Structure 1
Amino acid sequence: MTLRRVNVVILVLLAVAFLIIVQRNLLNLSDFLHKEHPDAGMILPFESELSPDLRLEALRKGEEIPVLITAAGDRLGAVIAAMNSVYQNSKANVAFTIVTMNDTVDHLKVWLSKTNLKNIKYKIVIFQPELLNRKILKDPQTLEATKPLSFARFYLPVYIPEAEKAVYLDDDVIVQGDIQELYETNLKPGHAAAFSDDCDSASAKGIVRGAGNQNNYIGFLDFKKEAIKKLGMRANTCSFNPGVIIANLTEWRNQNITQQLEHWMELNTHEDLYSKSLAESVTTPPLLIVFYKRHSSIDPMWHVRHLGASGAGNRYSNQFVKAAKLLHWNGHYKPWGRTSSFTELWDKWFIPDPTGKFNPVRRHTGDK
């Protein structure tokens, strides 16, 4: 055999050896991640349902902006509208993580693949309700509020393991600004998250004051309970709304935020720590405790909320709402369901369901 042939054979063998090493490393990484998060019920990045065609995404360069949103089967239209508003109003390199349940995946994939959202960058991960065993009360009166997906925000680093920072959005929002601006919100050193305070100038004008004590800690926590007393928190401290979160995932991991939240969830099942005047949220109280005076603030215009509250249309002007960077229909009146305020701003971003299963319900056509 000539020297030239020997060299070719050696190169081929080296290439084969390199590919074997790469494959083994990927398999080892998969095993490691499964061991690190055996209960998280997540689909790992290389096992995820990824968006099928990302060729057009090549135009969107720069730092990837991870955005996590949940997709409940009966609210898929909300998720689609929210994602469409984020995507269309920004040229940033947005990567969505969509947390959903097994029975919703197929419907979601069809909706994404057969509309103008087919080119977005996304992965679908599955939330396992077993993760919440012994952590929430099985109270039929709060069944709506204890839907499993509402707790996905507690597990941000699990579902986005590769990121150092991320944005969490509730599904009942519309983003009218560039999501990159929100993503670049400055967090103070040592803070794992930023929220919108309920006493901020944009949301405190009449809206929150009309919601009883829902703008301070006493509206969410029972300050007569010993476990709450021991924390030394002031009952009149302004609360915050966790429908929009900017998370420093490195700090979140280092401070074991998820484990702290789970601790207060479990303690509540034994000691009933939540306020009896609580409107509907069971996810907010643990966050209020863990992030008490340890969170940064989001620009109020990046979380204009209570659009789903009764009479919200009389409290916000059209000019103010149109100038807002992010609108949140928290409250009972959703823009795809019962009559709510400013539904036309939501309709602008809604994409009809190609399967015909989801249709917005309007009680009175022509109502605002």
Structure 2
Amino acid sequence: MEAPVYQNGPQCPVLSKQTMLCVPSVVHIAMTVDPEYLRGTIAAIHSVLKHGSCPQNVFFHFIDLDSSSVDANTYTRVLTSAFPSLSFKIYVFQEKLVKNLISSSIRQALDNPLNYARNYLADILETCIERVIYLDSDTIVVDDIQKLWSINLTGSRIIGAPEYCDANFAKYFTGDFWSNPEYAKVFEGKKACYFNTGVMVMDLGKWRGGDYTREIEKWMRIQKDKRIYELGSLPPFLLVFGGDVEVIDHRWNQHGLGGDNLVNSCRALHPGPVSLLHWSGKGKPWVRLDANRPCSVDFLWAPYDLYKFQQKQPLDRFGFDAW
């Protein structure tokens, strides 16, 4: 389905779509695109535009894997069909950059090279883009994205995200990690807390200046040799940025709604206000809705779904069998 047309409020600056890419007042959002999660990506875009005060001043950066079964032209047709006036660009991420750095994790889905594309945003996006919001495809924004965009990353901080300091931080790393003084000292003198990398505000200018992609790659090489963690792309972020994250209100990542990695496990919303819903975990709302086994939180996702799955019609014109 085509989304409704969402227009800027009167307070928004008038920008030319042709020159938006490097305008500082534009909100830049980066997401990956993948056939399995495309339906979620479309719903996430829809939610951002619906609740944004300046939806026409949002630019989306989509990262496609070079080995994907779907090419960038097909994604372009799908996106422009759903959002004819959307400002976006599709980038191709080279799998070879991480293929030899990825170690197997506790879930096969976490080993997808696209999960590591966020490590390379400073290299992939144009150098004129100094800040970006990274969003996973299983998120829904129910607040004005300008509020998240305007968060100040103070001092030397490069990442802004909600932190969870009551989580057992030690469990994210193996005994071999904690028994090695050289490794463990990375957290010395820091109050390092868990943060979810599915929702981040990132200062790409500072990232480029500190060459943090190489820092993350360093830990991935150690992992390949020593097995110091089990959880895919998250632990390297914790190792590089843990203890130096700009803390964002928890309302901006109500995560774990996918069942906290448990099959057929429904989660309720956390107490308090909500600005962003995140179906991290195995259970995705579109899958559970299609199977007629939804969790109650999945009905919060459904209004943003632009695929009329009830019709059971293949998307032949886009080259897909199904979403």
Give the counterpart of 1:127 among 90, 93, 115.
93
Q: Which residue of 2 aligns with 1:159?
A: 124
Matched-pair contact (CA < 8 Å) for 1:97–1:159: no
Q: Are 1:76 and 2:38 an aligned pair?
A: yes
Counterpart amino acid of residue 114 in structure 1: S
- Aligned-pair CA distance for 1:68: 0.1
Return closer, same or farther for 1:192/1:141 CA change in 2, 3 Å cut-off.
closer
Q: How does 1:180-259 map to 2 (within 5 A)?
A: 180-199=146-165, 215-222=167-174, 223-233=178-188, 237-259=192-214
Counterpart amino acid of residue 76 in structure 1: L
Matched-pair contact (CA < 8 Å) for 2:254–2:274: yes
Q: Are 1:108 and 2:68 an aligned pair?
A: no
Q: How does 1:5-84 map to 2 (within 5 A)?
A: 61=14, 63-84=25-46
TM-score, structure 1 as length reference:
0.69
Give the counterpart of 2:236 among 282, 286, 302.
286
Task: Note the aligned Cα RMSD (angstroms).
Answer: 2.7
Counterpart amino acid of residue 218 in structure 1: A
Q: Are 1:144 and 2:106 an aligned pair?
A: no
Q: Name the SS of the counterpart of 1:348 in structure 2.
A: helix
Q: Distance in 1 between matches of 2:190 and 2:180?
A: 12
Q: Which residue of 2 aligns with 1:174?
A: 140
Q: Name the SS of the counterpart of 1:100 in structure 2.
A: strand
Return closer, same or farther for 1:273/1:289 CA change in 2, 3 Å cut-off.
same
Q: Which residue of 2 aligns with 1:271?
A: 226
Return closer, same or farther for 1:57/1:176 CA change in 2, 3 Å cut-off.
closer
CA deviation profile, 1:32-55 (whole Å, cap 9, x unmatched) = xxxxxxxxxxxxxxxxxxxxxxxx
Q: Name the SS of the counterpart of 2:42 in structure 1.
A: helix
Q: Distance in 1 between matches of 2:110 and 2:164?
A: 20
Matched-pair contact (CA < 8 Å) for 2:187–2:242: no
- Aligned-pair CA distance for 1:216: 3.3
Counterpart amino acid of residue 107 in structure 1: T
**297-306 or 121-130, larger mean C-alpha shift:** 297-306
Q: Name the SS of the counterpart of 2:242 in structure 1.
A: coil
Matched-pair contact (CA < 8 Å) for 1:195–1:298: yes
The runs of 4+ residues in structure 1 deviating greater than 6 Å are 56-60
Q: Are 1:335 and 2:297 an aligned pair?
A: no
Q: Distance in 2 between matches of 1:234 and 1:220?
A: 19
Q: Distance in 1 between matches of 2:268 and 2:64?
A: 35
Return closer, same or farther for 1:260/1:121 CA change in 2, 3 Å cut-off.
same
Higher Rg of the two aligned structures:
1
Q: Name the SS of the counterpart of 2:197 in structure 1.
A: strand
Matched-pair contact (CA < 8 Å) for 2:47–2:142: yes
TM-score, structure 2 as length reference:
0.78
Give the counterpart of 1:299 among 240, 243, 249.
249
Q: Distance in 2 between matches of 1:140 and 1:179?
A: 32
- Aligned-pair CA distance for 1:234: 7.9
Return closer, same or farther for 1:219/1:193 CA change in 2, 3 Å cut-off.
same
CA deviation profile, 1:267-301 (whole Å, cap 9, x unmatched) = 11011111xxx4xx311100001002111111111
Counterpart amino acid of residue 190 in structure 1: S
- Aligned-pair CA distance for 1:133: 3.4
**244-253 or 233-242, larger mean C-alpha shift:** 233-242
- Aligned-pair CA distance for 1:355: 1.7
Structure 2: state its 5+ residue gaps.
1-6, 16-24, 289-293, 309-313
Q: Name the SS of the counterpart of 2:160 in structure 1.
A: strand
Counterpart amino acid of residue 150 in structure 2: E
- Aligned-pair CA distance for 1:78: 0.6
- Aligned-pair CA distance for 1:118: 1.6
- Aligned-pair CA distance for 1:307: 0.9
Q: Are 1:88 and 2:55 an aligned pair?
A: no
Return closer, same or farther for 1:216/1:60 CA change in 2, 3 Å cut-off.
farther
Return closer, same or farther for 1:221/1:129 CA change in 2, 3 Å cut-off.
same
- Aligned-pair CA distance for 1:195: 1.4
